[in-house]
Amino acid sequence: MSQTKSLKVIKKVTLVSIIVNLIIAILKIALGTLGQSQAIIADGIHSLSDMISDVVLLFSAKFFTKPADESFQHGYHKVEVMVIFMIGFLLFLVGIGVAYQGVLNLVSHKVVIPDKIAAIAALISIIFKEALYHYTVVQAKTIKSTALVANAWHHRSDALSSIPAFIGVLIAHYFPTYYYIDSFAALIVSGFIIHVAWELVRPSLENVLDRSAPKELVDQIYDTIVQTEGVISTHKIRTRYLGPSTVSVDLHIQVEGELTVTEGHDISGAAKARILNRFDEVVDVIIHLEPEHD
């Protein structure tokens, strides 16, 4: 898919996400405040952070979908890595803040009985955020965007975090003796947020360090190369991720030493074409040509 079409898909999905997240965040914070539920308010803040990450993704998409140019000859794939890291770090800060408030409420022993109206917001969130997750994943697969997949998981984490918030409100409302359950639910929500944040930040850090492609992909590249006509063997296969889902490959191939430069060049070109055509994630291949007995 072209960069222009990918950008259009990202913009469309992200705008839908921003609208849904804004409505749900306002609903949860309003009903959470009205119903005096710390868990629902925390869940609303989670949704608000999702909306902020949507805005970041929307404004950064035009950069990481740009083709390579003279200034950045390997492309702008790392921008997507930076966006994912920023989203993950933002979620981490939100999770810590929610956890702090939950602990503060438990330590203070402040008795607040939440009203069941707050649970309505959580139920609506579960339904709409799960639907938004599936919609975003489907669109992400069509353009192979890891940033969109990351954002989809924010939607699912929001849906999952609303479940303990929903249950916590109902328990605290119908069984006032267990009023503190609402604060425990807020802590569970923070755990969801922090876990998702780590799952986003960790691979981003690995990508910055030029993490290699998995062994399965390297083995498949090896098999593809040695099946190319004229290639006797291949070695020194090195890979690194340029972006979350884009790989650069560097390798050596051996051919008959008596071949002309043109013949060797043609074999290298055929090997490169086979790799690029077979593996969608591979966007660049550098091949070093060697005579058989070197």
Select the more confidently predicted residue: 29 or 111: 29
Write down the pTM of the prediction.
0.62
Q: Examine the domain organization and report whether 234 and 131 are in the same domain.
A: no
The angle formed by the CA atoms of residues 159, 164 and 167, to the nearest 5 degrees, is 115
Domain that holds residue 44: 3-208
* Count of the separate structural domains present in the chain: 2
Q: Examine the domain organization and report whether 115 and 162 are in the same domain.
A: yes
Q: Examine the domain organization and report whether 225 and 193 are in the same domain.
A: no
Query: What average pLDDT is seen over the chain?
Result: 82
C-alpha–C-alpha distance, residues 153 and 176, integer Å: 34
Q: Which of 167, 187, 208 is the last residue of a domain?
A: 208
CATH of residue 170: 1.20.1510.10
Residue 105 has pLDDT above 80, yes or no: no
C-alpha–C-alpha distance, residues 257 and 263, integer Å: 11
Q: Examine the domain organization and report whether 19 and 115 are in the same domain.
A: yes
Q: Examine the domain organization and report whether 90 and 119 are in the same domain.
A: yes
Q: What percent of the chain has pLDDT over 70?
A: 89
Q: Is 116 left (phi over 0), alpha (psi -120 to 50) or beta?
A: alpha
Span 220-227, average pLDDT? 91
Q: Examine the domain organization and report whether 232 and 281 are in the same domain.
A: yes
Q: Examine the domain organization and report whether 104 and 64 are in the same domain.
A: yes
Beta strand 247-255 with 233-241 is: antiparallel
CATH of residue 234: 3.30.70.1350
Q: Examine the domain organization and report whether 191 and 46 are in the same domain.
A: yes
pLDDT computed for residue 68 by the predictor: 65
Q: Examine the domain organization and report whether 164 and 50 are in the same domain.
A: yes
